[in-house]
Structure 1
């Protein structure tokens, strides 16, 4: 996924589009009037540098991200974006639920519950049974 001729910004925009589609762009757009530099940092660092590294595919990166955001227990808006992203890159509904249940062992039941309720909302929006 790493093309040496692309800038970090271009690479990040391409990666974000592949992962999140409109949901990720909506976050970036929402920052434009308050912190446009921060949106550039998200593109360049998060997606241009980290998500574009070899070693893990987008599917595995999104499972890790869903796990981390679930474990935090207080990042529901970001978790919902990454649940959408996980579904976009081929993670199944069951895999997302299992990832969140696993987090109960390490982050506690409240964090796992918050994650599961975020997932339930995303699944309902997507009409997933």
Structure 2
């Protein structure tokens, strides 16, 4: 594994964040100060840089996990990201429905409602 400097991790992470979330991603992490820097460096500078999964696959996994965990604010951001990296609303809906046997109906219902809100905002 190649050693990355802190600056290059941040720069790589910022570029990957923009690729995944567009401008919205930076707007979400900018107000977080140092915590936002850690999100950029670790999540996007390290994890999202790994080989083995496409950005679409990473967002499918992320949407599923955030749905199951009930992290609605972050789910909204990652539904936008999923749409941004090429997932359709139907694919995101299927991802959320796939969580029902493991997390239950209320969690999936919340996810579907967020998906509908995001799609109406994007395609208004």
Task: Give TM-score, length-normalised by structure 2.
Answer: 0.92
Residue aligning to 1:22:
23
Residue aligning to 1:115:
111
Could you say what the CA RMSD is over the residues aligned between the two structures, in angstroms?
Answer: 1.7
> Structure 2 regions of 5+ residues with no counterpart?
none
Residue aligning to 1:10:
11
Residue aligning to 1:54:
51
Structure 1 stretch displaced more, 19-28 or 55-64: 19-28
Structure 1 stretches of at least 4 aligned residues deviating more than 3 Å after TM superposition: none
How far off its partner does 1:51 sit?
A: 0.5
Alignment length (residue pairs): 121
> Structure 1 regions of 5+ residues with no counterpart?
none
How far off its partner does 1:30 sit?
A: 2.2
Per-residue deviation, residues 101-122 of structure 1 (Å, max 9, x unmatched): 1101111111101100110100
3-state DSSP class of the match of 1:28? Answer: helix
Per residue, is there more helix in 1 or in 2? Answer: 2
Matches of 2:103 and 2:113, distance apart in 1: 16
Matches of 2:122 and 2:59, distance apart in 1: 18
Task: Give TM-score, length-normalised by structure 1.
Answer: 0.88
